[in-house]
Chains A and B, each alone.
Chain A
Amino acid sequence: MEFGHPHPFSNSESVIQASVMDVMNEMIDEATLGISFEVHRACKLGTLFLGDTDPKSEKDHMIVDKPGIDVFGQIPTKKQFECVCPNCQRHLAASRFAPHLEKCMGMGRNSSRIASRRIANTSSKRDSDDSPEDNDNDSDWSYHVDRKVKKLKKDKTNNSPRRNKSSKLKNGDTGIENTGTPESNIPTYEQMTIEERKALLLQTCGVISEHTKKMCTRTHRCPQHTDDQRKQVRQFLLVPQGCGGDDDIQIDIDSYDDADSQSLREHLQWEVASSNSSPTDSTSTNNSTSSKKRAGQKSGSSKVSMNKKKKPPRPPDISTASVIPGSTSSLYDFV
């Protein structure tokens, strides 16, 4: 049979080629047939058009195939997980959320009062000024925690309920004026005016701790610090930096010593004599006097109250009362 063909090999090759093509087409047809059956079955079951949507949404949600953007057509951005505080509506990093809630909402035993006070403070602050400095001081809102470790520490000592509790325990025996002045006022002495510093220093020991950078909130007689330390602190805080105008300040502090001490002494006598009147009452009665004077009286009266505490049954002791203004004045006797 093959004799009739001039090129038997190429002929058989072409026959094989054609046969292979046929086999391939058969296979393709088989795949097509599979699809036909599938579609027909879907037709009869009514499931063929279930996956379809209307043309509009199909157009809206088309898969985007462009370099640089994802399938939704958005530019991929590295997103920080953020939470919104339900209490103050601020955004903050998720890792800082729990510690923030502790302070903001007030969980635990002690912090509810602190929290409410803090909320009141922040809300009034936010109403008045939205300065970035306000946010910078808040450790919760800064991602760059390392850069502000110092500030963060300060903040923590300020607001954490646990810290506050321990300090309260420490201050438990110090008397009335310490519970009266909230602790959160003290570490901000850098921002205080000279007048405010003066008022504070007249009431408290005020020695700045090496470790906590906070001022001692006890009385002038606190055993932890010496008179020299107190003197140093007063010099540091009350002398304006870089200018030699320390004369008038000295006068300011000591001014009550001459004329006012007389009235103070009288006042103290009167106060100790009426032994059941509280020192706060006495200060309130003398509210009309100048603020400078009031500050002096307050420190004096608090000392008297200390004395009263220690030895209540003793009769009014004028000598101790009159000694105190001298001793306090010696405290401020720098230059």
Chain B
Amino acid sequence: MADLQDRKMKDAAMRAKINQKLVETGERERLMELLRTRLIECGWRDQLKQHCKDIVKQKGLEHITVDDLVAEITPKGRALVPDNVKKELLQRIRTFLSKQSSV
């Protein structure tokens, strides 16, 4: 139990550290730009937008809230990202980290 908590804390610390590095160097912004481009290229954006429209139609134009939309499409968004885009992004983050640790 303590071990699990310990690990979670460790993970969170690690994540915060990585994020900090990414933001500090500006790499995160570059990676975000790359990701957006790739997602548009592979049609993920259009797919997701169409899904949003379906949700809006289903719930009614007046009653839709940002929270509803986020809750509905976040899992869908993660699932729809193609594997090769994910792989590329992972690879990029890893190379960045290895460069950082070597410096």
Q: Which of B14, B18, B22, B52 interacts with A39 by CB under 8 Å?
A: B52
Q: What B residues does A29 contact at CB under 8 A?
A: 74, 77-78
**Nearest CB of chain A from residue B52's CB, rounded to whole Å:** 4
> What band does the interface of chain A fall in when counting residues whose beta carbon is under 8 Å from B?
20 to 34
Q: What A residues does B48 contact at CB under 8 A?
A: 32, 35
Q: Which of A20, A31, A37 interacts with B77 by CB under 8 Å?
A: A31
Tell me the dominant secondary structure on chain A's binding face. Answer: helix
Give the complex CA separation of A138 and B22 in angstroms. Answer: 77
**Nearest CB of chain B from residue A266's CB, rounded to whole Å:** 103
CB of A23 within 8 A of CB of B15, answer: yes
CB of A43 within 8 A of CB of B74, answer: no
CB of B35 within 8 A of CB of A28, answer: yes
The segment from A11-19, A112-120, A279-287, A308-316 found at the interface with B is: A11-19
A residues 3-30 near B (Cβ < 8 Å) are 4, 15-16, 18-30
> What band does the interface of chain B fall in when counting residues whose beta carbon is under 8 Å from A?
35 or more
Give the complex CA separation of A28 and B11 in angstroms. Answer: 19
- With A20-B93, A24-B93, A43-B64 known to touch, is A31 a contact of B73 (CB < 8 Å)? no
Give the complex CA separation of A28 and B88 in angstroms. Answer: 13
Give the complex CA separation of A40 and B45 in angstroms. Answer: 15
Q: What A residues does B32 contact at CB under 8 A?
A: 27, 30-31
Query: Quick one: closest B residue to A29, CB to CB?
Result: B74
A residues 31-77 near B (Cβ < 8 Å) are 31-33, 35-40, 43, 46, 48-49
Chain A proximity mask over B62-103: 1 for CB below 8 Å, otherwise 0: 001110011001100110010000100110011001000000
The yes or no answer to A1 lying at the interface (CB within 8 A) is yes
- With A23-B22, A24-B90, A28-B35 known to touch, is A16 a contact of B97 (CB < 8 Å)? yes
A residues 52-106 near B (Cβ < 8 Å) are none
**Nearest CB of chain B from residue A149's CB, rounded to whole Å:** 56
CB of A23 within 8 A of CB of B69, answer: no
CB of B70 within 8 A of CB of A31, answer: no
- With A19-B11, A31-B35, A40-B65 known to touch, is A24 a contact of B86 (CB < 8 Å)? yes
**Nearest CB of chain B from residue A64's CB, rounded to whole Å:** 17
CB of A36 within 8 A of CB of B90, answer: no
Q: Which of A26, A30, A40 interacts with B69 by CB under 8 Å?
A: A40
Chain B proximity mask over A192-229: 1 for CB below 8 Å, otherwise 0: 00000000000000000000000000000000000000
The yes or no answer to B31 lying at the interface (CB within 8 A) is yes
Query: Quick one: closest A residue to B66, CB to CB?
Result: A40
Q: What A residues does B6 contact at CB under 8 A?
A: 1
Q: What B residues does A15 contact at CB under 8 A?
A: 7, 10-11, 14
**Nearest CB of chain A from residue B32's CB, rounded to whole Å:** 6
Give the complex CA separation of A266 and B35 in angstroms. Answer: 111
Q: What B residues does A25 contact at CB under 8 A?
A: 78
Chain A proximity mask over B1-43: 1 for CB below 8 Å, otherwise 0: 0010011001100110011001000001001100110010000
Q: Which of A20, A23, A30, A35 interacts with B73 by CB under 8 Å?
A: A35
- Sample of 4 more A-B contacts, CB < 8 Å, known A26-B19, A28-B78: A19-B18, A23-B93, A35-B48, A36-B69
Binding site for B on A (CB under 8 A): 1, 4, 15-16, 18-33, 35-40, 43, 46, 48-49
